[in-house]
Structure 1
Amino acid sequence: MHTLQIIKGGKELSEAEKALILLHGRGASAEDILSLAAHLQLTGFALLAPQATNHTWYPYSFMAPVHENEPWLSSAIDIVQQTTAAAEKAGITKDNIYYLGFSQGACLTLEFIARNATQYGGAVAFTGGLIGDRINPHRYKGDFKQTPVFIGTSDPDFHVPVERVYATANILKQMNADVTEKVYANMGHTINSDEISLANKLVFNRQR
C-alpha cells in the first residue's frame, strides 16, 4: 500500500523541542502541505510530512463505508503511526507531537488521533471529519487529557457535510479533548486567514 516517505522541514528532529506531522489532501503532495508552515507559529518544531502513494490516502469519499476504503485507509493510518514513532524515537514525547491536515488529510488526522487518543500537543483539521458512512464510537478509545483540537470548515462544503464536523467534535469532546470548531458560511473548500490565526492561538502558540 503506502510506503513511508517523509518530507521534512523546520528543525532537525534531533534538535527539535516539538514535532508537527502534516497530512496533505487528495491530489496534493507533502511539499504542498509543508508550504502552509510558513503561516504558522512553529518555532522549535520539526516538520514531518508523509507522502501518500499516488497523492491519495484512500480511494473513495471519507463518507463511504470504511471497508470500501480498505486496505488503503489502514495503510494510511499506519503511515501516520510510523511518522509519530519516528518523532518519539528522536526523543519527542507525545505531548509535544502535533498533527495538522487539510481535507482528506484532515479526515486522516482526526481518525488517527481518535483511534489513538492520549495527551498530544494539539491537532488542527482544516475541513474534515471522522471517517465512515456512520461514526462508530467503538472504534475510538483513550483520553485526550484536554489536548487542544481546532476544526475549521465551510457550510456548505462539497466534500464534508457540516453535520459530520459537529458529530466529530462531539466525539472528541466526549474523549476529553478541548475542541474548538468554527464554521464559515460559503467559504469554499479552502483554508482562510482566520483559521490560520485560530490554529496559532488555540494550538501552536497556546499557553500551557
Structure 2
Amino acid sequence: MKINLLHYITTSPEAAELACQGGVRWVQLRVKNQPYAVWKQIALETQAVCRRYGAMLLINDNPRLAQEIGADGVHVGQADMPAAEARAMLGANFIIGGTANTFADVQRLAAAGVDYVGLGPFRFTPTKENLSPTLGMAGYTEIMRQCEATGIVVPVIGIGGITLEDVAALKSTGLHGVAVSSAIGNAKAPAKMAGLFINELSAVISI
C-alpha cells in the first residue's frame, strides 16, 4: 500500500476540486455535526471529484459511510471506532488510518494493522475540536526515534497547523509525509499552494 506524501483534509467537494487541480491525490473528507443523509451527499460529491482526478478518498470517522459509498478508506480518530474493529468491518482492501498523539498510540495503531498513522498536532490548529497536546518538532523527533528503535515501519503523517515552511524540518524527524487543511484551503490560490506542497515534499521526503 503506497501512502501519499500529501494528505488534504477538507469539508467540501469544492475545496477538494481546487486542491486536486493543484495535484492533490489523497483527500480526507471531514464532516462534523451533520445528519447522515447530508454527510452522504457531501461524500458522494467529493468522491465524484476524486474520481475525475484519480485521487483517493478517505472518510473521516465514519466506516459505515465509507463502506456504503465505496470510498477508498477511512480515518478513525481516538474517540471513534477502534482501528481493529474498522479493519474487521471493512476488510483488507480498505485503507485505514488512525490518529495518534503519543508513541503508545502509534504502537497500538500499528498492532491493529493500520496502513498509516496521523500523528499530531504539530501546533495549535482551529480546524480540530478537542485538540490533543501539541508535539512540536521535539515531540516528533522523539516519537519517530522510538518508532525506529522498536522497528515500527508504518508510515507516519504529521498533522496539525503545518505550513509549507515546516516541511523540510519535519522531514528530518523521519515522517513519511504531512496532512494539511487550512494551509491549502485558506490560501489565496489553493491549487498553486497544493502544487508547492507537493514539490516540497517530493524534494525533501524520500518515499
Give the shorter-chain TM-score range. 0.3 to 0.5
Higher helix share: 2
Higher relative contact order (CA 8 A, sep 6+): 2
